[in-house]
Amino acid sequence: MNEIPFELEQAVRRMSTLLVTDDLVRDGIRRIVAAAVDIVDGCDAASVSLLLEGEPTTAAASDRSILEVDLAQYRNDSGPCLDAARTGSSIRIDYWPADERYQPTRPSADALGISSSLSLPLRMADGRSVGSLNLYSSDRGAFDADENVAAEFLAAQAAALLETSELLMASSEFIDEAQLEGERRTTVAQAEGVLMVLQQCSLQQARGLLQTASRDRGRTLVEVARSVLASLDLN
CA 133 from centre of chain: 13
Task: Identify the domain boundary among 164, 179, 206.
Answer: 164
Which letter does DSSP use for residue 21 in this model? Answer: T
Confidence label for 20 from pLDDT (cuts 50, 70 and 90): very low
Helices (H), 60-144: 67-76, 80-87, 106-111
Q: Which of 76, 78, 85 is nearest to 134 (CA)?
A: 85
Same domain? For 128 and 224 the reply is no
- The predicted pLDDT at position 26 comes to 78
Q: How many domains does the chain have?
A: 2
C-alpha to C-alpha distance for 207 and 4, rounded to whole angstroms: 48
Owning domain of residue 31: 5-164
- The predicted pLDDT at position 165 comes to 66
Same domain? For 92 and 179 the reply is no
Measured on CA atoms in the order 99, 104, 107, 113, is the torsion positive or negative?
Answer: negative
Q: Say how many residues make up the chain.
A: 235
Task: Identify the domain boundary among 109, 131, 164.
Answer: 164
Task: Identify the domain boundary among 149, 164, 179.
Answer: 164
Task: Kindly report, residue by residue over 150-180, the tens digit of the pLDDT.
Answer: 899 899 888 888 876 655 544 444 344 444 4
Task: Kindly report, residue by residue over 22-69, the tens digit of the pLDDT.
Answer: 566 778 888 899 999 998 999 999 999 988 767 888 888 998 888 889
Q: In this structure, how many other beta carbons lie within 10 angstroms of the beta carbon of residue 93?
A: 24
Same domain? For 23 and 138 the reply is yes
The domain that holds 194 is classified in CATH as 1.10.10.10
Task: Kindly report, residue by residue over 90-134, the tens digit of the pLDDT.
Answer: 999 999 989 889 988 889 899 999 999 999 999 987 788 989 999
